[in-house]
Amino acid sequence: MSAAFDISAAFTQLRDLMQGYPRAAMFQLAEEGYDSPFEQLISCMISIRTYDEVSLPVSRQLFARAKTPQAMSELSVAEIESLIKRSTYAERKAQQIWAIAKDIVDNHSGELPCDVNVLLGFKGVGPKCAHLTLGIACQQPFISVDVHVHRVMNRWGYVETKKPKKPPRP
């Protein structure tokens, strides 16, 4: 019979092991002051399929030009694409970022609400970015769990499921 899994001990070991590694991009950006829901959401979108070593400077470069939905919506899609061109799928992301900024200006008085349904309603935003935004920028009890985290939890024996449960879409 195997010993029961101790999640507290696992997290203590993980914290100790991770001391020598850089902070994850979203947390690093928040520490640098890019902590609004809009900045966190856009940074997360930039990070999709893009290494942190690229997404961090790309996010900083974009926010040097436009940190708010209003300022972002005043850029052209081509300008946004030029600023984020080092990220993967920059053309598609630029269109989505501009559309989100415009929607926030037009429908939310220029402020991105901390509402999971609003976030998931934007094209290009899935549970990962919605939950990271809500957890980091909005201080809500959300975590981002993807298939990789799910696999680790299964290997540790903490859960025994074949697939992570998908959250409902609005």
- At a CB cut-off of 8 Å and minimum separation 6, what does 25 contact? 43, 47, 52, 55, 56, 59
Residue whose structure tokens are 């981002």: 144
- Which residues, including other chains, have CB under 8 Å from residue 61's CB and lie 6 or more apart? 83, 84
User: Within a domain: residue 153?
Assistant: no
Is residue 86 a part of any domain in this protein? yes
Instruction: Count up the domains in the chain and report the number.
Output: 1
Task: Indicate whether 7 belongs to any domain.
Answer: no
User: How much is the pLDDT for 165?
Assistant: 60
Establish if 148 belongs to a structural domain.
Answer: no
Sites in the chain below the pLDDT cut of 50? 1, 168, 170
User: What pLDDT sits at residue 147?
Assistant: 64
CA nearest to 91, candidates 43, 46, 29? 46
Domain-embedded: residue 61:
yes
Domain with 53, as residue range(s), is 23-143
User: What does the pLDDT read at residue 20?
Assistant: 84
Question: Does residue 132 lie in a domain region?
Answer: yes
pLDDT of residue 137: 97
| Residue 12 located in a structural domain | no
**Can you give the pTM of this predicted structure?**
0.82
| Residues ≥6 apart with Cβ < 8 Å to 125 | 41, 45, 96, 100, 119
Q: What confidence tens digit (pLDDT) does each residue in 57-70 have?
A: 999 999 999 999 99
For residue 163, tell me if it sits in a domain: no
Q: Which of 10, 39, 11, 14 is nearest to 26 (CA)?
A: 39
Where residue 97 sits, what CATH number does that domain have?
1.10.340.30
CA dist., res. 3 & res. 169, Å (int): 38
Which letter does DSSP use for residue 162 in this model?
A: S
pLDDT (tens digit per residue) in 33-56: 999 999 999 999 999 999 999 999
